[in-house]
């Protein structure tokens, strides 16, 4: 079936003029609206106004242009049905064989600073109605919703005279997907999450961004998907400046680095390996922070991910290239640092200028989701403020922690909540001396952290993300020279654990908040 008439009404006018000119050469009559019509005529393309087609003007500031039987009848009529042909003739309606339509830029508007009124004005009504009508009748109407399809479709028309039924169906599916995603974004924008935090039906929409180098293992394929409107501080918004294509594991580790580095105000460095920190430090300079973080566990740091919360400068870069890392995340890089780091051909360098907004954006996130077979586990994001915890923490032992011990405990707690359970962190000042992660018993985690820190754990503090079920962890901590412990409390044997701390002269505080991380 040859395309005789096309309705063109688009917000995104990329590539449109060339496409319309090629349609015109094929003898296709073009009908159009508003600014699309103006653009076509300005470029010498003969077009007919929709208002002339339907005998009714655009009204309500352009809110109503195409919602008319002469348009929707032209799109929805089934060409093979005699009754439809008769009705079109009766009411003077000419069939439309192609719809070229995309929607008001609602996603772009709500992604930037805007008012509610501006957002509402950019909710498209006529466009989705047209697209749904044409897509429903795809056997008779070609529906094009993306400029990326123009060349392919016009080539088919020029060389074959028509577009295959298979491709028409494919275009219709794309059209319904676009409208569905658009409507979902409007729904999410207008919804009040406080009224429906955990809805009966959980709708999740993510857009495929790219194929990754590989999945968790090289034999697994993997892709990166994004929320329809990702936050500015998301790792997805980071700009890659150098290095190889990112893998599935890179993204997991980089996201873990971002979550942890956002905890700190002073110049800080985190080193991540398999989503767990293996070294964290804050200091007066970024170089010092890096060196302290690296000294925590140089062996585990090999092949890890670095996260910084200040511009990465030349001094730090010179130290970094002495070792092997997979990727670096920072808010910015000096030109000198980039020159040095780019010597490492495969080293991934990511820049995320909005990193400082991460904690604020995290509090806006409603869900954290983990997949199990045939289902999802959904929970609130653990976005509690560590500062609130520190101001409310409870000293439960006879010995009170010193000022230095409080600083170290606060630092260790910020780290341990990002370590896979069962976890233990030993810290002194604002640096980790040892991090133990993923143990199946609490006492094993503590013992491993002590073994890692060796003699340096004397006069240090110990942090645990969950309570001690027995006094054994306190006993071995005391033997190693630990002087203060921060933990949630809440065990049925809390009294036994507190008594052990008192016996050893250890200061202990309860946060009254558990931070399991599975």
Number of CB atoms found within 10 A of residue 424's CB: 30
d(CA 325, CA 347): 7
**Three-state secondary structure string covering 237-286:** HCEEEECCCCCHHHHHHHHHHHHHHCCCCCCEEEEEECCEEEEEEECCCH
Dihedral over alpha carbons 459, 465, 466, 468 (to 10 degrees): -20
* 8 Å CB contact between 468 and 447: no
The pair of three-digit structure tokens given for residue 189, joined into one six-digit string: 């924008």
SS3 content of the chain, % helix, strand, coil (to 5): 40, 20, 40
Tell me the C-alpha distance between 372 and 375, whole Å: 5
Q: What is the chain's Cα-based Rg?
A: 31
* Listed residue (245, 303, 247) closest to 271, CA to CA: 303
Contact yes or no for 6/28 (Cβ under 8 A): yes
Show the tokens assigned to 164. Answer: 């295959």
Per DSSP bridges, beta strands 431-436 and 424-428 are antiparallel
Q: List, by residue number, the catalytic residues.
A: 136, 274
CA dihedral 250, 256, 261, 263 (to 10 degrees): 170
Tell me if residue 370 falls in helix, strand or coil. strand
Nearest one of 168, 186, 192, 198 to 98, comparing CA atoms: 168
Check: CB of residue 8 under 8 Å from CB of residue 16.
Answer: yes
Is the preceding omega at residue 174 within 30 degrees of 0, hence cis?
no
CB of 378 closer than 8 Å to CB of 358: no
């Amino acid at each position: 079936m040859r395309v005789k008439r096309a309705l063109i009404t688009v917000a995104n006018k990329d590539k449109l003029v060339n496409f319309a000119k090629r349609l015109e050469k094929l003898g296709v009559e073009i009908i159009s609206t508003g600014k699309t019509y103006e653009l076509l005529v300005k470029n010498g393309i003969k077009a007919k106004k929709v208002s002339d087609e339907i005998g009714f003007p655009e009204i309500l500031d352009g809110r109503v242009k195409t919602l008319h039987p002469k348009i929707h009848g032209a799109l929805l009529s089934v060409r093979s049905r005699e009754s439809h042909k008769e009705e079109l003739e009766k009411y003077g309606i000419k069939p439309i064989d192609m719809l070229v339509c995309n929607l008001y830029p609602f996603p772009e508007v709500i992604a930037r600073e805007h008012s509610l009124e501006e957002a509402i004005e950019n909710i498209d009504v006529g466009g989705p109605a047209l697209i749904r009508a044409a897509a429903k009748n795809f056997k008779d109407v070609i529906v094009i919703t993306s400029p990326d399809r123009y060349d392919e479709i016009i080539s088919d028309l020029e060389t074959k005279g028509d577009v295959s039924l298979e491709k028409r169906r494919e275009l219709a599916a794309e059209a319904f997907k676009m409208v569905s995603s658009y409507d979902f974004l409007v729904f999410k924008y207008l919804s009040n999450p406080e009224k429906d935090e955990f809805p009966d039906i959980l709708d999740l929409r993510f857009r495929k961004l790219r194929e990754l180098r590989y999945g968790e293992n090289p034999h697994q394929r993997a892709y990166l998907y994004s929320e329809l409107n990702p936050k500015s501080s998301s790792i997805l918004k980071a700009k890659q400046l150098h290095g190889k294509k990112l893998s599935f594991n890179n993204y997991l580790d980089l996201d873990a680095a971002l979550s942890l580095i956002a905890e700190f105000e002073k110049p800080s460095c985190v080193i991540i390996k398999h989503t767990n920190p293996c070294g964290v430090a804050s200091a007066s300079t970024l170089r010092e922070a890096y060196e302290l973080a690296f000294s925590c566990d140089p062996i585990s740091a090999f092949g890890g991910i670095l996260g910084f919360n200040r511009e990465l400068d030349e001094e730090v870069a010179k130290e970094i290239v002495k070792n092997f890392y997979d990727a670096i995340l920072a808010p910015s890089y000096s030109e000198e640092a980039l020159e040095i780091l780019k010597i490492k051909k495969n080293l991934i360098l990511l820049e995320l200028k909005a990193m400082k907004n991460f904690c604020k954006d995290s509090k806006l996130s409603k869900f954290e989701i983990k997949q199990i077979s045939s289902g999802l586990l959904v929970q609130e994001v653990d976005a509690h403020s560590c500062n609130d915890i520190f101001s409310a923490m409870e000293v439960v032992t006879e010995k009170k922690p010193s000022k230095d011990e409080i600083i170290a405990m606060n630092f260790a707690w910020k780290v341990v909540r990002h370590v896979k359970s069962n976890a233990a962190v030993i810290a002194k000042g604002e640096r980790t001396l040892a991090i133990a992660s993923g143990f199946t018993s609490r006492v094993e985690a503590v013992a491993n952290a002590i073994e890692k820190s060796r003699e340096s754990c004397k006069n240090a503090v110990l942090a645990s993300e969950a309570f001690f079920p027995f006094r054994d962890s306190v006993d071995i901590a005391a033997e190693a020279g630990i002087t203060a412990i921060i933990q949630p409390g809440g065990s049925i044997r809390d009294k036994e654990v507190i008594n052990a701390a008192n016996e050893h002269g250890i200061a202990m505080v309860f946060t009254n908040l558990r931070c399991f991380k599975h």
